[in-house]
Structure 1
């Protein structure tokens, strides 16, 4: 299994220095026929693999919501806030290990890291099938959070090695769209699994965790054999294609002399301290409260809306809102790719989500409340747009890994809040949970608008300073390394809204 990747790296070792050297002095031709062919080739070799891995990562995370209405809470003897505590432990593990996970991902390479961590959280999912008490469930969910911590930031960071800034948003959508699809597919898969009488010695909700975990492990082992770490080690690219793949990404990174720089904490934290990273991280935190609450509580909400239906029918009713969310992810990300804009779509999405929560708060009629879930599902779009935005507004590979890790950590802080958004005594209409999410979507609108205004203002201020005193690299009086360490502080850098 491992010899395949070792030979892959060995075969390309001789070409590696030549590729990097040529890319150093090259400028990628903007969307030439050769570049379009290369982009399609990368799309076919990279995107399907990471998309499938993330699909099952989200299924393994969110299937506890499906298991709950299939009898998990009764079998484990849950009372009061036990369910909230169990799903909160996942986020504690996730948040604590988020930054270490992305550092490890960069150090060992995402081509190794992503499949390996997928195998581990698949094992945790299988382990959940055998828990018998609430504390046991907490331990397994904590471990699941540890091993899933690097999945989203690692995949975003990995794709940023292959794509231009404008292209990245749409490619991120093709893997992050699996989050809402996981909600739809997870509900359909859970309803299908529950039709089985048993799986080995397991029955009911235990089959959901076991079968979905085994599928995750199997797919991860396939990915371990096939996922390519970076363009220079891709056996499916010619030497000329490798040169172009490196050059076209490198050409957008002001002051960067190499595509994959060495890891330094200075540059890593420079990516985190970036003003756009901080603003976008707060936006993603607020958005994640909605997204994660929806993932964990939509089955419960559907059950309160349609209490007369059986469990399998209720599982099926969780799917359609996610399908709409998936469409919105791809549609808005495609528009973002073609316009090379991201911030404006933050602003456009927020009022749609707000309208959904206003419907929840204003009506107790079943069809209105179920219709509101379709509007709320548009919140999934910010997963793609925020990760793409922080990636577009740093320069070095190391700064990018820090920015993406911080953005993902913020999302899961929001997810932790989301686990407490819908409390047992607040049901069945959940005015507090829905009010909280209305407030967070309103804050997204305000913060995103102010950030867009600031980015445009600061770009004009940078233009003015350069025009007045001519801040070229030579006039900075710094070494090349010091110039690169400036990252977004460099006078030639401009924010990309």
Structure 2
């Protein structure tokens, strides 16, 4: 069998048709079949060489144990298993359907052909980015709209008779909100570990189908206990949605492209909020043989289930297997994100990365930010309609008045991302802190404005929506400032543990005996908002300091004569963490 030439030295990779047993040029192969052939050939491919010399010298601070040595980079010694699978022949269809691993040889070829300075033509880069935007963003955005509508179904069901029909008293309604996130909390870490071993698009789609089915089942419940059980299970299957969205964005887009793409599907938050108001109003007009609140669960659940099937069919799992691109463009899609230096996708759980995630103080800061951001979300998404109805609006007018709230969410997110794209330097966390000011003002207004000021209090309620924009920018920090696949998965898990605890705790700040003012809930929103702004500034200070340390480390490497350009391309195809990788740079 003929061996591959070293892809670091070869001007062009071997023609696939020259491989024994490979398809001829005239034969078409699917991405999964190509990857099987590459996996087999990778077993005999020599390790890439490099012109780099010298080692990564330990600095005065003694941090050499936290970074890769030069021999690690030369030999790609990151214990990745991408080339460990031999394919004796075509695998069964179900193995191809669930393929999640990409052979290292694909990364090597991508960087050999399109890596380095000027390796990727700007026109090709823009064309591929447009193609990704056209396919990935609508799939995620529509999913996210239904995702948010799903979260507000309980709120609309409450004003259409759910409480009376199921005889809910005391804190029973608050528990219906919180049990959803209890299921999320229990299943979040196992689900994220399964995500590491699964094709992300298909795993996402299957969970959306399940969540739609369980949402429909909630329309048929006859007791509080049955609804608690179904909402807990629904929370568990929905827990994987946000991590999947973030993994997709991190996998397909450069760091500087990620805030706008995350904002694109978070725009759907506002669309979902407005659409939920229209759906609630429309269902309220239907003279159906079943209660309106049951119809809400049935219709929204059916729509989620159908969209899950669309996700399974069309959502890509990885740039290397994306059927929406030809093979050369798949290579370009892999090469274009090399400067992220965030590590390649791998199925192997790496204990050293897990240990680093647990010991990294920023992991706990991400968790804290997620908590203080989502405690108010737990209040507003479940009690927003009750706050508005408490301003003496009718039930149907209350549903309609949710539409401007959603439109204002779109404005906040759009303006924050627009400013982030145009302001010089790195401004994500500074903007995040600044965008907390309107929601703080809104909470103060709800606390102190007279109850007779109906319009003024309504606008204060609308102002509280600005907290959604900082959360979008914060999510883009996680996707672009955490390296290593295992570490990223666990950091995202930690963030969404904070998310779930916040959404569990939030509703318990709202007490029925305080209606319609809900003073304790509004105070809870205010305190969380102030803490969130403070945490953003602390996180920024930490990331700025780490970047300065890495710049100093890189200066010492250059002084030692290390070819940093060659090594940077090598680390792009290694699964290493942000702390281990001297070329990684944090976004803030």
Residues 445-454 or 44-53, more deviating: 445-454
- Worse-superposed segment, 399-408 or 162-171: 399-408
Q: Which moved more, 1:112-121 or 1:373-382?
A: 373-382
The CA RMSD measured in Å over matched residues stands at 2.7
Residue 225 of structure 1: how far off its partner (Å): 1.1
Q: Is the 8 A contact 2:270 2:410 kept in 1?
A: yes
1:458-489 CA-partner distances (Å, limit 9, x unpaired): 433444455568798989xxxx99x9655325
Q: Does the aligned pair in 2 maintain the 1:231–1:245 contact within 8 Å?
A: yes
In 2, Cα distance between equivalents of 1:445 and 1:455: 16
What is the match of residue 246 of structure 1?
334
CA distance in 2, matches of 1:160, 1:473: 32
Q: 1:213 & 1:473 partners in 2: Cα distance?
A: 61
Tell me which of 290, 293, 299 is aligned to 1:205. 293
Alignment partner, residue 547 of structure 2: 459
State yes or no: 1:496 paired with 2:587: yes
Give the one of 292, 309, 315 matched to 1:221. Answer: 309
**Structure 1 position 10, deviation (Å):** 3.4
Could you list the per-position Cα deviations for residues 401-460 of structure 1 after superposition, in whole angstroms to 9, with x for gaps in the alignment? Answer: 222222122112111111212121222111211111111111112121222223223433
- Report the CA distance between 1:259 and its aligned residue: 5.1
Distance 1:267 1:28 in 2: 30
1:9 aligns with 2:32: yes
Note if contact 1:396-1:487 (Cα within 8 Å) is conserved in structure 2: yes
What is residue 3 of structure 1 aligned with on the other side?
Answer: none
Q: What is residue 78 of structure 1 aligned with on the other side? A: 168
- Name the stretch that deviates more: 350-359 or 51-60: 51-60
Structure 1's 13 and 39: CA in aligned 2 closer, same or farther, altered over 3 A?
A: farther
| Cα gap change, 1:338 to 1:396, in 2 (>3 Å) | farther
For the pair 1:316 / 2:395, whether they are aligned, the reply is no
Number of aligned residue pairs: give it.
482
1:115 is paired with a residue whose SS is helix
Moved more, 297-306 or 270-279: 270-279
Which stretch of the first structure deviates more once superposed, 80-89 or 342-351? 342-351
Cα 1:108/1:469, change in 2 over 3 Å? closer
Contact 1:288-1:414 at 8 Å conserved across structures: yes
Rg larger for: 2
| Equivalent residue number for residue 83 of structure 2 | none
Query: Per the alignment, do residues 31 and 405 of structure 1 end up closer, same or farther by CA in structure 2, a change over 3 Å counting?
Result: farther
Equivalent position of 2:237 in the other structure: 147
Residue segments in structure 1 that go unaligned for 5+ positions in a row: 1-5
Shift, 1:117, TM fit? 0.2
Give deviations 1:93-133, integer Å, cap 9, x for gaps.
Answer: 00111111122122111111111000001011101101111
Aligned runs of 1:143-222 on 2, under 5 Å? Answer: 143-198=233-288, 202-222=290-310
> Which one is further off, 202-211 or 461-470?
461-470
Contact kept, 8 Å, 1:91 with 1:412, in 2: the verdict is yes
Hey, what does 2:216 align to over in structure 1?
A: 126
Counterpart of 1:445? Answer: 533
Aligned to 2:379: 293
Match 1:383 to one of 468, 471, 475: 471
Matched, 1:23 2:46: no
**Do the aligned partners of 2:341 and 2:583 also contact (CA within 8 Å) in 1?**
no
Distance 1:474 1:128 in 2: 62
C-alpha separation in 1, matches of 2:487 and 2:476: 14
TM-score, length of structure 1 as denominator length: 0.90
Instruction: Indicate the structure with greater helix content.
Output: 1
Q: 1:9 to 1:190 in 2, by over 3 A?
A: farther
Taking a change above 3 Å as real, the CA distance of residues 36 and 377 of structure 1, as seen in their structure-2 partners, is same
Q: Which residue of 1 aligns with 2:149?
A: 59
Distance 2:460 2:172 in 1: 28
Counterpart pick for 1:350 among 436, 440, 446: 436
> Residue 35 of structure 1: CA displacement?
0.9
Contact 2:357 2:363 in 1 (8 A): yes
Q: How far apart are residue 28 of structure 1 and its match?
A: 7.2
Higher mean Cα deviation, 389-398 or 120-129? 389-398
Change (3 A) 1:472 1:248: farther
Q: Is the 2:32–2:321 Cα contact (8 Å) retained in structure 1?
A: yes
Aligned residue in 2 for 1:434: 522
SS class of match (1:177):
helix
Q: CA, structure 1 residues 150+259, in 2 after alignment: closer, same or farther (shift >3 Å)?
A: closer
Check 1:486–1:204 CA distance in 2 against 1; reply closer, same or farther (3 A cut).
closer
Q: Does 1:116 align with 2:203?
A: no
Whether the 8 Å CA contact 2:196–2:346 is kept in 1: the answer is no
CA offsets per residue over residues 278-304 of structure 1, 9 Å max, x none? 323312211111223111111101110
Contact 2:273/2:406 (CA < 8 Å) preserved in 1?
yes
Q: CA deviation at 1:312?
A: 1.7
Other structure's SS at 1:305 match = coil
Instruction: Using the TM superposition, name which of 130-139 and 322-331 deviates more.
Output: 322-331
Task: Write the distance in 1 (CA, Å) between the matches of 2:332 and 2:117.
Answer: 6
Preserved CA contact (<8 Å) 2:436 2:533: yes
Assess, with a 3 A threshold, how the Cα gap between structure 1 residues 468 and 174 changes in structure 2: closer, same or farther.
closer
Q: Distance in 1 between matches of 2:581 and 2:370?
A: 26
